[in-house]
Structures are given as C-alpha cells and as structure tokens.
Chains A and B, each alone.
Chain A
Amino acid sequence: MKALRKFLKQFGKFADPFLVMGIFVLFLIPVLTVLNLTPQTRPEYPESSVLGIGDENKVNFNPGATPQDGILVTRVSQNSDTSYSVEVKVSPQTTGSFSNDFFTASNTIEEDLRIQLQPSFQEFPDGTVISIVVDGIKFVLLDEEGNIYPPTINMVPGQDISAAIQIDNEINSNFEYQFTVDVTIE
C-alpha cells in the first residue's frame, strides 16, 4: 500500500493526460449516443431503383387513333417497357399542311425523361416535310431533301406533352405511303 502510494506520488502526474482523455471520452460518448438517437425517417426509394418494379409508369404513352387529314396511326407495338414502334399511314394529299395527333405523354416520376424518336421511311413523296410538333415546337423527321432526323424531346417531372404529326407538301402526293417512328423513353 505504501509502495503504491509512493509509486502514485512519483508517477501519478503521468496519468493526468489519461484523466483528461477520460473526461473527454465521458463527454463524447453521450454526445455521439444522443446524436445517433436522433430519430430518422424511413428512406423512400425511387420505384425505378427497386428490383422487380418495371418502368411502365414512367410515361403514360397514348398514341392518337383518329384519322384526320389523311394521316392515321395504324399500329402501335410496344417492344419493351420503354420503347414503342408507331406505324403511320398517309393517304394521297394535295399541296398544303396537314396534321393529326401522334401521342400524348406525361412524366410521372421525379426525374427528367427523354423521348427519342427514330423515324424510318420505306418511301416518301418528293417535296414533303414530315415533322412532330410538341407544344408548338416543330421537330423535323424528314426534310424536303429526304434527310431523316432523330429528334429528342425532354420532359421535366410532371410535364404533360401532346405531340402531333405535321406533313407539309410542296406538291401533291399521289400515292399512299407509310412510315414508322420508334419511340424510346429514357
């Protein structure tokens, strides 16, 4: 006992830093515990991140079905949850501008979406411009020189768009033709 007391008297001062550390730890532990006990809310995972849930609700895609101005959507085939092939038949037309509804889409998720249109033509009349008009903005698919363009339409969360096909004929088109637009939603 006496030896211990002597030892503590001689070397006790070296224990002081450990006492300071002990005091620090005694303050640190409750602080960390209380911070950790701060209630959390259950995280909400976006549907697209959950395995087994498809993306079919990302965009409500509704092709137009009523014939108008000699333009008719004849067939829509859904290739996957996010891609469609839309076939359009165009009857013989005179010179002028003609249009019909193509599709409506609404972005139902909290992320931006892109709708990519990839047109393909078997045959087309000379001097015809085929475009997609989305909210007043014209996206050309086929110009008068026969060049084909694949436009991309951006959709912000919650946005609804309605797209129409517009055909501008410089001269009369005297035959019926078809074209296909592959629509991919990303």
Chain B
Amino acid sequence: MSKLLRKILSAAIFPAALMIVSKVIGMAIANQLFDLGWSIRSDTGGVFSVQVIYPDVDSAVKCNSYSNLFMIICMLIGNAVHLFQGYFLHTSHQSPKVLIKLIQFDFILWLSDSDSIFPNMAVWLAFLWVSTIISLTQTLQGNTYPWVSVTALVSSIIVTWLAARDFEREINIYLPESGKLQVS
C-alpha cells in the first residue's frame, strides 16, 4: 500500500470536514448578522434532499457570499498553519539559533519533517483551490459577490507561491542549483 496515498488520504479528512462545517457555520453567521429570513426545502430531485431557501435573490447572494468568504478564510487558516510549519518548524532547514528558540518556547515537539509537511500542505492547498473555484463559478452564475472570489483567487495565488517557495527551498537542500545531488 502506497505510503504517500495513505498520508494524503488521512490528511484530506480534516480539511474536507472543515470545508463543509465552515460553509454551514458561515451561513448561520450570515443569517444572524444580516437578519436574513430563511427556510429549508426538501427536494428529492437533487443529490441532497435538503436545500436552504431565501425569499429573495439579494438575501441568497448575501448569505452565499459571506458563507463562501468564511469557508475560504478557514481554508486559508489551515494553509497558514502548514506554511508556518514549513517555514519555521521544518526539521530540514533549522538553524541552531531557531532550534534554541523553539526549545525555549516549548515548540520543539511541533517540529515536522518533509514527509508529513508536504502531503498536508498539498492537500490543504488543493482544498483552498477547490473553494476558490467554487466561489469563482458561483460569481459567474451571479450567486456570489465578485470581491469574494477575487479575494479568494489572490489569496490562493499568494499561498501557492509561498508553498512553492518552501518546496523549492526543500528541493535545493538535496538538489542545489549546481545540479549535484547532495547526500547527507
């Protein structure tokens, strides 16, 4: 059984659940914040039987936009945690100075190796892009405010760039720019 696939599978469970939960919580927050009237409709024609119904288009778009925003923020937080791990708590590129600081602040157990950081980072990044694509699609359909999708897109690009930089740094440890493979 592939070790990488198992890692990806186990890493995907939490963000998948978070995506659903954050969407639901986002809708609840939007309903509460903007005092939107909503109801639930059963529709056996779709994949899921329950749909949330709003009396007018404005309310529906507002709720959808803010719940999408909340979902994307949750995905960004997950990505930020992994980027933080990748940049500051990665065993492969720690200077002794940083290691001492980590020991001082009792963060030494948070140190992670590449085997666990990169599959996690890739999975979280994939979920962030999935959320962004959903938001963009819904903007094109007129169900989400454009600024939400633009924010999501810009954030996703920045996070991807930061992750790529970290991954490149990791690659350079083993395969520096001279092209000669270093075996430690």
Contacts and interface: CB of A to CB of B under 8 A. Distances in A.
A19 B23 contact: no
Contacts of A26: 9, 12-13, 16
Chain B CB within 10 A, most for which of A8, A13, A39: A39
Interface string B1-44: 11001101100110011011001100100000000001101000
Interface string A11-36: 01101100110110011011111111
B52 A34 contact: no
Contact of A41 (B17, B54, B131, B134): B54
A42 interface: yes
A8 B134 CA distance: 38
Interface residues of A, number: 25
A13 B1 CA distance: 5
Contact of A27 (B5, B126, B143): B126
B116 to A, nearest CB: 17
B54 A39 contact: yes
Given A15-B1, A32-B48, A33-B48, A38 B12 contact: no
- The DSSP consensus for interface residues of chain A is helix
A154 B53 CA distance: 37
Contact of A29 (B6, B16, B64): B16
B112 interface: no
B51 A19 contact: no
Contact of B60 (A33, A34, A40): A40
A39 B39 CA distance: 10
- The DSSP consensus for interface residues of chain B is helix
B1 A39 contact: no
B55 interface: yes
B38 A39 contact: yes
A53 interface: no
Given A38-B138, A41-B60, A19 B1 contact: yes
Contact of A31 (B24, B41, B134, B138): B134
A35 B20 CA distance: 10
A23 B143 contact: no
A50 interface: no
Nearest to A39: B60
Contacts of A19: 1-2, 5-6, 9
A3 interface: no
B157 to A, nearest CB: 20
A36 B47 contact: yes
Nearest to A11: B1
B111 interface: no
B177 interface: no
B148 interface: no
Interface of A: 8, 12-13, 15-16, 19-20, 22-23, 26-27, 29-42
Q: Which 6 A-B pairs have the closest CB atoms?
A: A12-B1, A39-B60, A19-B5, A30-B19, A26-B12, A36-B48
Given A19-B9, A41-B55, 15 more contacts: A8-B1, A13-B1, A16-B2, A19-B1, A19-B2, A19-B6, A26-B12, A26-B16, A29-B20, A31-B130, A33-B23, A36-B48, A37-B67, A40-B51, A40-B60
